[in-house]
Structure 1
Amino acid sequence: MLSPHVSRRSLIRRSGALTAIIALGLAGCGGADDEPAGQAGSEQGYVAGSGVITQLAVGERGEPIELAAEYTDGTSFDIADWRGAPVVLNLWYAACPPCRKEAPALQANYERYQDDGVRFLGINVRDQAPAAEAFADTFGLTFPSMLDQDGIGVAALSTVLPPQAVPSTVVLDAQGRPAARVVGAVDESTLKALIADVLDETA
């Protein structure tokens, strides 16, 4: 399981607007009405409120994440082929309010870091392809997603994320190892800083 760590270039120092608390687990995250985790949040299947951020030092990241599946259009992929640059994995589904809230932040960073080789993958934990594609059209998402009805995407991240942590975002380093996670909705400046930290390591 990930443990809290502030990278050598602090998130807070990189972005003065970032006031998120670096912590482990779901402390401070509740359901839609800010109820404790395990009550409304687990019943509705999403984590509301601000994202809880965890970073790992380079020497603490463990093994690379393995995941091979198909995009919503049926095209096959293997994230092992993406090593050499950071990868952003985002768990979501269409009826999840925090997922709708964070969608513009994900797209903005996808566009920001495309030229740096950063790859993004949405892992849709609940929907059929039409619902997933309608969500992408509504929010102008141009990065790909996979359908995870068989649970292989969630299983691949089971050592990184607690159960039912949707939305959640995991940033992998250039070797495919978990470098950071946000449990709950991620904002644009937070994700920008997390990706920038990993890019700095690669450089």
Structure 2
Amino acid sequence: MGLSGCAQEDALAQQAKAGDNKNYVAGDGSVTEFAAADRAPAVEINGKLFTGTTIAPSDLQGQVTVLNFWFAACAPCRVEAPQLEALHQEFKDQGVQFLGVNLRDEKATAEAFEKSFNVTYPSFDDKDGSVLLAVSGMVPPGAVPTTLVLDKQGRVASRVLGEIQTGTLKALITAAVAE
């Protein structure tokens, strides 16, 4: 009696075993929304942006925050960068802040990426994993890109694993702003 019928591989496990040397596991594109009553406590992010600015948990209070986990060599990150910037421009006057979370790059590489894609919002230098650790359970360590929308209390309101779709992320941000 074997249990082989119980062991079914998911798409992320298959990517990890592929051996294609892309150095990331692409998310499956799934979108998860969390009802306000079911949200975990506010995330406790303490980190430093490439600009040198330090971000504390209080900086995520009182406004909707979009956190996008990325690095320069990630192909889907390159595709979604212009879309994220367009949404940043659309929502910044509504008090929505966008913050990138760069997981691998040195400052010069991150800045070159931001310049190439005209990204104007700042990013965390998270090579030490402190921001990623603060959202553990919400962002799988290897699933890049991942985008979180935090509500005005700093709680995760929604998550997109993988490359964003502009309309979907716009709807998630709009819902969080309306709360």
TM tier relative to shorter chain: 0.7 to 0.9
**Is 1:159–2:137 an aligned residue pair?**
yes
> Residue 41 of structure 1 contacts residue 47 of structure 1 at CA under 8 Å; is this kept in 2?
no
**Is 1:100–2:78 an aligned residue pair?**
yes
Post-superposition CA distance 1:76-120 (Å, at most 9, x none) = 222422311210001000000000011011101100100111011
**Is 1:188–2:166 an aligned residue pair?**
yes
What secondary structure is seen at the aligned counterpart in 1 of 2:16? coil
Normalised TM-score (structure 1): 0.78
Q: 1:175 to 1:153 in 2, by over 3 A?
A: same
Query: Which runs of structure 1 show a deviation greater than 6 angstroms over 4 or more consecutive aligned residues?
Result: none
**Is 1:111–2:92 an aligned residue pair?**
no
Q: 1:55 to 1:166 in 2, by over 3 A?
A: same
Identical counterparts, % of pairs: 44
Tell me the equivalent position of 1:39. 17
> Following the alignment from structure 1 to structure 2, what is the Cα–Cα distance between the partners of residues 44 and 61?
33
Structure 2: gaps of 5 or more residues: 1-8
Normalised TM-score (structure 2): 0.88
> Following the alignment from structure 1 to structure 2, what is the Cα–Cα distance between the partners of residues 70 and 40?
34
Shift of 1:133: 0.3
Amino acid at match of 1:36: Q
What secondary structure is seen at the aligned counterpart in 2 of 1:38? helix
> Following the alignment from structure 1 to structure 2, what is the Cα–Cα distance between the partners of residues 37 and 165?
11
Decide which of 130, 133, 141 is 2:111's aligned counterpart.
Answer: 133
Post-superposition CA distance 1:6-37 (Å, at most 9, x none) = xxxxxxxxxxxxxxxxxxxx96x55xxxx824
Provide the aligned C-alpha RMSD in A: 2.1
Structure 1: gaps of 5 or more residues: 1-25
Shift of 1:48: 3.6
Number of aligned positions between the proteins: 171
